[in-house]
């Protein structure tokens, strides 16, 4: 799945991301809830807010499609790679939603983040053999190691 296809899907389903910034009124004042707490703004998600390579875009698409069936509010905090695996963060979730997210996080450890083919969690992807975790197929792992050894 390409970033263009993923962006269209996000727009079609109205996926929103919660910003770090607070919602502002027309005068620029922070908007608060009834308890006086500032409200975070939400904006339309694009692939630029997804901190993974394209190889996991299909996993992210499928994860979201399953979450929608749970009456999820379609708001996220973030999507990223961490320690070689997918992290998908919601504002709030049920046990059912958490189970879906966990399923796709586990699948990410078997999926090359670069191309989406079968991958293996590698723990030596940093410079000079340092511990940097990535899940990659043999081809992309070799390309990364070759590139890192050039420096």
> What is the total count of domains within the chain?
1
Flag whether pLDDT at 20 surpasses 70.
no
**85 occurs within a structural domain:** yes
Cβ(44)–Cβ(16) under 8 Å? yes
Reported pTM: 0.81
**86 occurs within a structural domain:** yes
**136 occurs within a structural domain:** no
**30 occurs within a structural domain:** yes
**79 occurs within a structural domain:** yes
Mean pLDDT of 54-62: 96
**128 occurs within a structural domain:** no
What angle is formed at CA 65 by the lines to CA 59 and CA 70, rounded to 5 degrees? 130
> What do you get for the CA distance between the two ends of the chain, in Å?
32
Confidence band for 19, pLDDT divided at 50, 70 and 90:
low
**119 occurs within a structural domain:** no
**63 occurs within a structural domain:** yes
For residue 44, the enclosing domain spans 3-109
Phi, psi torsion values for 102, nearest 5 degrees: -60, -40
């Amino acid at each position: 799945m390409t970033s263009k296809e993923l962006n269209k899907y996000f727009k079609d389903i109205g996926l929103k991301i919660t910003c770090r910034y607070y919602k502002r009124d027309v005068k620029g004042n922070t908007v608060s809830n009834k308890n006086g707490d500032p409200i975070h703004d939400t904006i339309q998600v694009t692939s630029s807010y997804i901190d993974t390579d394209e190889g996991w875009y299909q996993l992210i698409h499928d994860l979201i499609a399953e979450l929608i069936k749970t009456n999820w509010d379609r708001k996220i905090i973030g999507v990223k790679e961490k320690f070689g695996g997918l992290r998908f963060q919601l504002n709030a979730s049920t046990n059912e939603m958490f189970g879906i997210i966990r399923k796709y996080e586990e699948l990410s450890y078997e999926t090359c983040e670069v191309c989406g083919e079968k991958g293996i969690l590698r723990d030596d992807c940093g410079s000079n053999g340092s511990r940097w975790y990535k899940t990659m197929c043999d081809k992309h792992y070799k390309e990364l190691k070759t590139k890192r050894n050039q420096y």
